A = this chain, B = another copy of it.
Amino acid sequence: MKLLVIGANGTIGSHVVNEMKDEYEIIHASRSASDIQVDITSLQSIKDMYNKVGKIDAVVSATGATHFANLTEMTPELNDIGLRSKLAGQINLVLLGLDYINDLGSITLTTGILMDDPIVGGASSAMANGGIKAFVKSAALEMPRGIRINSVSPNLLEDSQEKYKDFFMGFVPVPGKRVGMAYRKSIQGAQTGQSYEVY
């Protein structure tokens, strides 16, 4: 069984890889230094990735940038970073990837706690997360050939606590293992259209 992990080198992607690597042939994709290089803000780059990878059983997207800034300093242009990357980029992984996913396969996107439990500077990130969550819930009605789609919404990870603790005051960080298991549930479970919250 083949699992394509986009953002495989990131904090979340690494936990997905660790969780699934004994059972799946994992294809690592990321912006740099992976089996496959991909820039999810480029339609051509996504198409090239799927062409190289061929047929797969599961896709995990653990990638997507958003810009953090105080609301009064947020511009349409800075908000566009999250629109193009974490939001449209992940949705385009679905729209352009469906033909490559085997029957009864799955695709799992990544959102995040800021849509439910906001912080200062996180409005653009919340937007991307909320858009992905709602897209997934609706798209699940129409996925062809028994393919399922879910999203995972992680809290701050223990691994990232030192780096981001000043922005996430009072958030109780979660172990990467728990986050990895949410992706496992999406990949190997039977549910579709769900948002798995690891809070």
Where the two chains meet, the residues of A that have a C-beta atom closer than 8 Å to any C-beta of B are 43, 70-72, 74-76, 79-80, 83, 87-88, 91-92, 95-96, 98, 114-115, 118-135, 137-144, 193
- Assuming the contacts A70-B142, A119-B141, A130-B131, asked whether A87 and B91 have C-beta atoms less than 8 A apart, the reply is no
Identify A142's interface contact among B71, B75, B115, B133, CB under 8 A.
Answer: B71
Whether the pair A137, B120 counts as a contact (CB closer than 8 A) is: no
Whether the pair A141, B120 counts as a contact (CB closer than 8 A) is: yes
Contacts of A79 in B (CB 8 A): 88, 91-92, 95
Kindly state the separation between the CA atoms of A137 and B70 in the bound complex, as whole angstroms.
14
- Shortest Cβ gap from A1 to chain B (Å): 24
Contacts of A74 in B (CB 8 A): 95
Identify A118's interface contact among B87, B132, B141, CB under 8 A.
Answer: B141
Could you list some 10 contacts between A and B, CB below 8 A? A71-B95, A71-B139, A71-B143, A74-B95, A76-B95, A79-B91, A80-B88, A115-B134, A130-B131, A131-B131
Whether the pair B76, A88 counts as a contact (CB closer than 8 A) is: yes
Identify A75's interface contact among B95, B134, B140, CB under 8 A.
Answer: B95
